């Protein structure tokens, strides 16, 4: 198809009718998903976004592997170290390394401080050894993407610097990515469930049920979300374990996100109820359930996928904002918002700007999901 | 209105030479998917007091022709070649001929021609008016664009025009919104607006398509009446052969942006030459037809605009297709009788 | 027309009522109550509180009664204009909130005005010059605006102004020394001078959204036949565009306030915390942490009222500019 279109645009000369017919046949024979894929491929921004999203979820799957330093181990003496540049060549040879640090005692304050030691070259390797972790809670290993040939990774490599407690920001970022993106995913799944259920009921049965559900949606939407989130999140007792807080945060975020989803689903149901193929299925004596799941849902599944992708950024921002305020996830949990909490003091940030680094993945992820969602939404209507 | 009464001498002069002459017009649309040759070499003349019917299936370039004349083709479309000669009175009162294709589409001169010399009415009476402004507002705007009348004078003129096109209670209706009027009334208001500055040429693009049959007849009658009173030249664009039979003096048959046949209305109906015209006429349902016979249709459908067939554009659907000729060369529009031209190898091998 | 206003008004009242229940329940959700938090606080500071004293506090605040009775008592008081006591401050809630609510409204309205003032011309430009360089640029900026959470934008602006312009205190709504001054012309001028930054920070994300809507709607409208009619009259192109399609696209534009307003009010809470604005944001934050029921409940409720009123105003505005609604006739297109 793509080639055929290029050939069409390439010349003003009418191309061979046979070729055109072949293209037409291919289009008419293609499944809905093929059509979507063809259309999606044309949206370059969405394609790039898809690759970025895949990249993010690879990090989610292998967060500990990408980290090289135990993200929970703090060392006050390594507090607020600046990021180290990677030097790729050593005496004309390709040997990526960073300059290590040596502890010295400050002659005036007698504090132990770390300074860059140009003599202490730490050569980076792939698949080096580091702290021990369990991959997916199953396999115990101590292999990481980055290691150091000579010496201990944890004491010498700080690619993005360290935070106030002397923890390596790069490694924490990897784990934070895992937390923040799974929260978004679970939140979306929950709101999808609520949205499809209530939106479906609303669109399918109409009448008073539709009226009530629509009113509820209106009320929920007119309440300012962040104060409500804050109130709900503030209600979580401080002594709760991380996992429970994590679960409740997703629940809170999903509580508000479902309204958009419900509207999409309801709209599609209303539109499809009038379609000929639904009437045909009814006349053929198909059961209600069969009509819904065999005929209606597949035809708007693509819309739901697009809506899901567009809902994710809001979830990510919500979690980040809440955690940033200290009302969401709390230490020892690590999320983008938790990391950014340290950047809330502007004077401190001016001196140690690397504390703002976690803002970058937030922005990139939100952008990527938006572009992906846009592309999917356009592709969802392959006949439109 | 006395000012547009014209002397007999002038009338003769005007009817002899066309007021609007389109020659070899080509308007192409340049889109991502390819170039659409919406109008591809159309030529015809329009005379004062006469109606030229342009007929063809949807997508044959009728409406683009109209828009090309007014120079309001959408951004992706462009007039590639050809000329559009308009005879008009210039500032010093002399008859002048200008080629509209040489003017800038947004120039002052072109804008003074639009609405003033050439007016347009078209298909969707529902959406042809802004729902946010009263019809009066839109008529008064049109009047004041081409005159020095005050708002109040323009309003009175507007009421007068509404009365002229047969709208009851025009003093009240002028303050109505378009959605408060019926389809027939809306089309009348549209005509009133088009007449607001005494155009010499009226382009009616499917003026009755969206109306029911009785309203349709009333609107056509109104157009007839106005034409008789003012010596207006009308370009009537339609796909409806019935409307053509009723209104047109001359007919242009278009297919895929090309004129395939043109001639006086009697010739077209009683002695159609082009296989396409013949097919079109065959596909009109008739009460005189033998009962239980199938209505003739034109086989196939209009080719995709990005993929025009080579040779004669109609050859893929033509019952008289000659292999080796029709798909190889392009036929020329050549005479087959007085004022009657056709573009087909059956007549000009 | 009257029906329309009444139905909108009724819907607004229902929303506020439901919001009052939600805010009340939300504040009641956490285990323990204000007294527990108060005692914990006192104990943390080294003062011990006896059980009898705690009980007395509970009775004083009516916390010993069932929750629905507490709700009705609270709601009844609110209807009489009495918002109860802010326990932490030991002053009436109305007094504690005072100016802060006004300033919240001022900041939110400023953000909406900022959005409208910029989104309208940008949206029109982007639609009329679709796929032009500037259109792409605005789309890009719009995506950034949507992607950067506004607290982060606030942080970045603070950081940049501190680092590169050496501005130490950029936040706030008043110059030092002005905040406590009585209201007067000077103070208003001072406030207006401080408004642009919070308005921009708050408005940017919303603006991107509104530009997107404006552009899409105008693109739709530009294809409508009445635009051709206007052109065919001989009207100059810019007059055609501003009189007709822009006028039509203004409708969805105005109705966007219905959902950007809750969004802005939300945002103002969190941005106020970062920029140190004297709005209800920081107050709500503290009240929630201290579990100050009356204060937090009142703020939540007032915010809901604010958004409902904002939406109502936009609905009335919509009615005023759309003759189809005004004349009680739904246009069939």
3-state class (DSSP) for residue A21: helix
Q: Is B123 on the interface with C (CB under 8 A)?
A: yes
The answer to whether residue C129 neighbours chain B at the CB level (below 8 Å) is: no
* Of the ranges A138-152, C78-92, C102-116, the best mean pLDDT one: C102-116
Inter-chain touch B111–C329, beta carbons under 8 Å: no
Residues of A in contact with B310 (CB under 8 A): 14
Question: For the residues A323-342, what does the mean pLDDT come to?
Answer: 80
B-chain residue closest to A19, CA distance: B307
Residue C55: per-residue pLDDT: 76
Which chain B residue lies closest to A2 (C-alpha atoms)?
B33
Contact B310 A12 (CB under 8 A): no
Q: Name the strand (E) or helix (H) holding C284.
A: helix C280-289
What is the DSSP secondary structure assignment for residue B134, as one 8-state letter? B
Which among C306, C257, C251, C241 has a CA at the least distance from the CA of C280? C306
**B–C interface: beta-carbon pairs under 8 A:** 85
Asked if A12 and B32 come within 8 Å (Cβ–Cβ), the reply is: no
Contacts for B155 with CB less than 8 Å, ≥ 6 apart: B136, B140, B174
Across the interface, whether the CB atoms of A343 and C262 are under 8 A apart is answered no
Residue B201 confidence (pLDDT) = 92
With beta carbons under 8 A apart, name residues in chain A contacting C307. Answer: 222-224
What residue spans of C129-256 are helical by DSSP H? 133-147, 150-165, 185-194, 196-222, 225-232, 237-243, 245-255
CB contact under 8 A, A20 and B307: yes
Q: Which of C232, C243, C324 sits opposite B72 (nearest CB)?
A: C232
Q: What span, in angstroms and rounded, lies between the C-alpha atoms of B132 and C328?
A: 14
| A279-327 per-position pLDDT tens digit | 888 888 888 778 877 777 777 777 777 778 778 888 888 888 888 887 7
Distance of alpha carbon A223 from alpha carbon C14, whole angstroms: 12
Higher local confidence (pLDDT), B137 or C190: B137
Q: Which of B30, B34, B37, B328 to mutate: most A Cβ within 10 Å?
A: B34
| Residues of chain A neighbouring C11 (CB-CB closer than 8 A) | 215, 218
The residue behind tokens 């040997």 is A95
A224, A325, A362: residue with CB nearest C262: A224
- Could you say which of B124, B141, B179 has the minimum Cβ distance to residue C331? B179
pLDDT by residue (tens digit) across A48-81? 888 888 888 888 888 777 777 776 776 666 666 6
**Taking the CA atoms of chain C, what radius of gyration do you get in angstroms?**
24
Do residue C284 and residue A227 have CB atoms under 8 angstroms apart?
yes
**Chain C contact for A351, CB < 8 A?**
no
Q: Do C266 and A324 touch (CB under 8 A)?
A: no
The reported pLDDT for the residue numbered C122 is 92
pLDDT computed for residue A9 by the predictor: 38
Contact in structure between A202 and A262 (CB atoms under 8 Å): yes
**Dihedral angle sign, alpha carbons of residues A77, A79, A80, A84:** positive
Does C134 contact A at CB distance below 8 Å?
Answer: no
What whole-number distance in Å separates Cα of residue A138 and Cα of residue A58? 17
C-alpha of B187 from chain center: 16
Could you tell me if C320 and C267 are in contact, meaning their C-beta atoms sit under 8 angstroms apart?
Answer: no
The per-residue pLDDT string of chain B (349 residues; one tens digit each, 9 = 90 and over) reads: 444 555 666 656 555 788 899 999 999 888 776 788 888 888 899 998 899 999 988 778 888 898 899 898 887 888 888 899 988 877 677 778 888 888 888 888 888 888 888 998 877 767 888 888 899 999 999 999 888 889 999 999 999 999 988 899 999 999 999 888 888 888 889 889 988 888 889 999 888 887 788 888 888 999 999 899 888 999 999 888 888 998 999 999 998 888 999 999 999 999 899 999 988 888 777 766 677 777 677 777 777 766 777 888 888 888 888 888 888 888 888 888 888 999 988 888 7
For the residues A319-337, what does the mean pLDDT come to? 80
Q: pLDDT tens digits, residue range C246-264?
A: 988 888 788 777 767 777 8
A52 close to C (CB below 8 A): no
CB of A280 less than 8 A from some CB of B: no
- Contact residues, chain B, for C323 at CB < 8 Å: 131-132, 177
Residue B75 forms contact with A (CB below 8 Å): no
For the segment C276-305, what is each residue's pLDDT rounded down to a tens digit?
888 888 888 888 777 776 788 888 888 888
Position A4 confidence tier, pLDDT thresholds 50, 70, 90 = very low
pLDDT at A3: 39
pLDDT of A270 strictly over 70: yes
CA dist C248 and A128 (Å) reads: 64
**B35 at A interface, C-beta within 8 A:** yes
Residue C236 contacts B, CB cutoff 8 Å: yes
Distance from CA of B174 to the nearest CA of A (A): 38
Whether residue A346 and residue C259 make contact (CB cut-off 8 A), yes or no, is: no
Return residues 240-279 of C near B (CB < 8 Å). Answer: 243-244, 247-248
The verdict on A362 touching C (C-beta cutoff 8 Å) is yes
**Interface contact A129, partner B, CB < 8 A:** no
pTM: 0.76
User: Which chains lie within 8 Å of chain B at 3 or more CB pairs, if any?
Assistant: A, C
Q: Who wins on pLDDT, A206 or A15?
A: A206
Dihedrals phi, psi of B54, to nearest 5 degrees: -110, 125
Instruction: Give dist(CA C169, CA A122) in Å, integer.
Output: 42
Helix axes A207-222, C2-28, angle to 10 degrees: 70
Task: Tell whether the model's pLDDT for residue A17 goes beyond 60.
Answer: no
pLDDT for residue A244 is more than 60 = yes
Count Cβ atoms below 10 Å from residue B259 Cβ, excluding itself: 26
**CA atoms in the 13 A half-sphere facing the CB of C226:** 27
Give residue C49's pLDDT: 66
In the structure encoding, which two tokens stand for residue A314, read together? 């809001």
Cα separation, A23 vs C17, in Å, equals: 59
Distance between C228 CA and the closest CA of chain B, angstroms? 7
Question: Around C234, how many Cα atoms within 13 Å sit in the side-chain half-sphere?
Answer: 25
Residue B72 in contact with partner chain C when CB distance is under 8 A: yes
Quote the CA–CA distance of B59 and B79 in Å, as a whole number: 17
pLDDT at residue A11, rounded to an integer: 38
Q: By C-alpha distance, which of A146, A293, A150, A268 is closest to A199?
A: A268
Cα–Cα dist A148/A131, whole Å:
13
Q: What is the mean pLDDT of residues C25-42?
A: 66
């Amino acid at each position: 198809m793509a080639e055929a279109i290029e050939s069409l645009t390439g010349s003003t000369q009418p191309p061979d009718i046979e070729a055109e017919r072949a293209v037409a046949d291919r289009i008419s024979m293609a499944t809905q998903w093929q059509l979507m894929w063809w259309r999606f491929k044309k949206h370059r921004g969405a394609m790039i976004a898809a690759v970025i999203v895949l990249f993010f979820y690879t990090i989610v799957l292998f967060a500990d592997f990408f980290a090289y330093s135990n993200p929970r181990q703090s060392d006050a003496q390594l507090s607020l170290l600046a990021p180290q540049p990677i030097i790729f060549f050593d005496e004309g040879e390709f040997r990526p390394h960073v300059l290590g640090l040596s502890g010295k005692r400050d002659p005036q304050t007698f504090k132990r401080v770390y300074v860059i030691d140009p003599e202490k070259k730490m050569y980076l390797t792939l698949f080096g050894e580091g702290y021990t972790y369990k991959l997916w809670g199953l396999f115990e290993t101590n292999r990481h993407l980055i290691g150091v040939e000579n010496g201990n990774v944890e004491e010498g490599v700080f690619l993005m610097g360290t935070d106030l407690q002397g923890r390596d920001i790069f490694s924490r970022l990897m784990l934070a990515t895992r937390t923040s993106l799974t929260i978004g995913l679970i939140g979306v799944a929950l709101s999808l469930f609520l949205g499809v259920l209530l939106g479906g009921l609303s669109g399918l049965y109409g009448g008073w049920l539709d009226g009530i559900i629509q009113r509820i949606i209106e009320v929920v939407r007119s309440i300012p979300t962040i104060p409500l989130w804050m109130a709900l999140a503030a209600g979580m007792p401080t002594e709760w374990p991380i996992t429970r807080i994590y679960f409740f945060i997703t629940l809170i975020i999903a509580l508000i996100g479902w309204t958009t989803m419900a509207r999409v689903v309801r709209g599609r149901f209303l539109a499809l109820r009038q379609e000929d193929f639904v009437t045909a299925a009814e006349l053929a004596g198909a059961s209600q359930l069969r009509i819904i799941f065999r005929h209606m849902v597949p035809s708007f599944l693509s819309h739901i996928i697009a809506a899901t992708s567009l809902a994710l950024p809001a979830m990510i921002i919500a979690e980040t904002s809440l955690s940033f305020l200290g009302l969401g996830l709390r230490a020892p949990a690590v999320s983008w918002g938790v990391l950014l909490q340290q950047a809330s003091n502007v004077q401190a940030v001016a001196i140690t700007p690397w504390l703002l680094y976690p803002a970058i993945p937030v922005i990139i992820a939100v952008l990527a999901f938006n572009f992906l969602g846009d592309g999917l939404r356009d592709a969802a209507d392959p006949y439109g | 209105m006395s000012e547009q009464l014209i002397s007999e001498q002038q009338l003769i002069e005007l009817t002899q030479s066309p007021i609007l002459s389109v020659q070899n017009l080509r308007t192409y649309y340049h889109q991502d998917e390819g170039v659409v040759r919406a109008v591809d070499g159309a030529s015809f003349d329009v005379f004062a007091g006469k109606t030229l019917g342009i007929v063809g299936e949807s997508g044959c370039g009728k409406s683009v022709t109209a828009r090309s004349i007014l120079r309001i083709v959408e951004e992706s479309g462009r007039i590639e070649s050809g000329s559009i000669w308009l005879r008009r009175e210039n500032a010093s009162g002399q008859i002048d001929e200008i080629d509209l294709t040489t003017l800038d589409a947004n120039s002052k001169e072109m804008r003074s021609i639009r609405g003033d010399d050439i007016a347009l009415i078209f298909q969707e009476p529902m959406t042809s008016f802004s729902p946010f402004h009263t019809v009066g507002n839109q008529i008064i705007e049109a009047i004041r664009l081409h005159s020095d009348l005050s708002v109040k004078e323009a309003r009175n003129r507007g009421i007068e025009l509404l009365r002229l096109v047969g709208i009851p209670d025009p003093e009240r209706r002028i303050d109505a919104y378009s959605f408060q009027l019926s389809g027939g009334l809306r089309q009348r208001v549209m005509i009133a607006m088009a007449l607001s500055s005494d155009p010499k040429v009226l382009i009616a693009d499917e003026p009755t398509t969206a109306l029911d049959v009785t309203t349709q007849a009333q609107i056509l009658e109104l157009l007839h009446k106005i034409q008789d009173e003012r010596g207006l030249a009308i370009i009537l664009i339609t796909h409806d052969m019935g409307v053509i039979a009723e209104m047109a003096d001359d007919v242009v048959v278009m297919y895929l942006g090309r004129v395939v046949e043109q001639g006086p209305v009697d010739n077209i109906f009683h002695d159609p030459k082009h296989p396409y015209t013949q097919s079109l006429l065959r596909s009109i349902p008739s009460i005189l037809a033998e009962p239980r016979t199938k209505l003739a249709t034109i086989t196939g459908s209009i080719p995709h605009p990005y993929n025009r067939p080579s040779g004669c554009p109609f050859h893929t659907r033509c019952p008289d297709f000659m292999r080796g000729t029709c798909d190889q060369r392009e036929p020329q529009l050549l005479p087959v009788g007085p004022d009657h031209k056709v573009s087909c190898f059956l007549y000009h091998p | 027309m009257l029906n329309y206003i009444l139905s909108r008004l009724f819907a607004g009242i229902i929303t506020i009522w439901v919001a009052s229940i939600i805010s009340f329940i939300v504040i009641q959700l956490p285990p323990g109550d204000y007294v527990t938090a108060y005692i914990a606080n006192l104990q943390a500071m080294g003062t011990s509180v006896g059980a009898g004293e705690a009980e007395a506090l509970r009775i004083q605040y009516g916390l010993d009664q069932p929750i629905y009775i507490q709700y009705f008592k609270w709601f009844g008081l609110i209807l009489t204009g009495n918002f109860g006591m802010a326990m932490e401050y030991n002053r009436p809630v109305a007094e504690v909130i005072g100016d802060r609510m006004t300033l919240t409204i001022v900041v939110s309205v400023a953000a909406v005005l900022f959005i409208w003032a910029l989104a309208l011309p940008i949206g029109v430009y982007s639609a009329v010059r679709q796929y032009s360089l500037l259109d792409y640029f605005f789309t890009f900026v719009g995506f950034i605006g949507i992607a950067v959470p506004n607290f982060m934008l606030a942080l970045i602006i603070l950081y940049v102004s501190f680092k590169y312009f050496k501005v130490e205190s950029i936040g706030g709504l008043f110059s030092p020394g002005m905040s406590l001054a009585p209201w007067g012309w000077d103070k208003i001028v001072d406030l207006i001078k401080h408004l642009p930054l919070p308005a921009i920070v708050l408005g940017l994300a919303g603006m991107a959204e509104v530009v997107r809507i404006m552009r899409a709607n105008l693109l739709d409208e530009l294809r409508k036949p009445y635009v051709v009619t206007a052109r065919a009259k001989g009207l100059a192109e810019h007059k055609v565009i501003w009189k007709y399609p822009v006028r039509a696209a203004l409708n969805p534009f105005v109705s966007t306030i219905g959902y950007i307003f809750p969004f802005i009010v939300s945002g103002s809470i969190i941005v106020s915390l970062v920029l140190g604005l004297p709005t209800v944001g920081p107050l709500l934050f503290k009240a929630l942490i201290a579990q100050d029921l009356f204060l937090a409940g009142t703020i939540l409720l007032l915010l809901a009222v604010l958004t409902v009123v904002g939406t109502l105003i936009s609905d009335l505005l919509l009615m005023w500019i759309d003759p189809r609604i005004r004349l009680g006739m739904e246009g069939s297109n």
